[in-house]
């Protein structure tokens, strides 16, 4: 059976364009899991244009499904 992993980068892009923390990426990740997603996907970039590195650390304790981190394994992140 195919499993759905929701990429939340665009939610982070929207948050970053508005400033502040709305929409909240952690709450969004909690919601998509509650609604049935089998995973959460993020793709941190060195310029933090979408997901910020801190977001990954904030998401870790809240994602109880598969947590798929794509992208650049830069030393500061590893």
| 78 lies in some domain | no
Residues 21 and 72: their CA atoms lie apart, in Å, by 24
pTM (predicted TM-score):
0.89
| 34 lies in some domain | yes
Residue 56: count other Cβ atoms within 10 Å of its Cβ. 17
Domain span at 37? 5-69
| 55 lies in some domain | yes
Question: What does the chain come to in residues?
Answer: 78
Q: Check: CB of residue 14 under 8 Å from CB of residue 54.
A: no
| 25 lies in some domain | yes
| 74 lies in some domain | no
| 76 lies in some domain | no
Each residue's pLDDT, cut to its tens digit, for the chain (78 residues) gives: 889 999 999 999 999 999 999 999 999 999 999 999 999 999 998 889 999 999 999 999 999 999 999 987 777 666
Domain count, the chain: 1
Residues 76 and 45: their CA atoms lie apart, in Å, by 12
């Amino acid at each position: 059976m195919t499993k759905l992993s929701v990429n939340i980068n665009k939610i982070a892009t929207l948050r970053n364009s508005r400033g502040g923390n709305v929409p909240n990426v952690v709450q969004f990740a909690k919601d998509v899991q509650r609604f049935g997603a089998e995973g959460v996907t993020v793709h941190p970039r060195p310029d933090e244009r979408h997901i910020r590195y801190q977001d990954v650390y904030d998401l870790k304790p809240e994602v109880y499904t598969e947590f798929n981190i794509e992208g650049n394994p830069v030393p500061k992140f590893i």
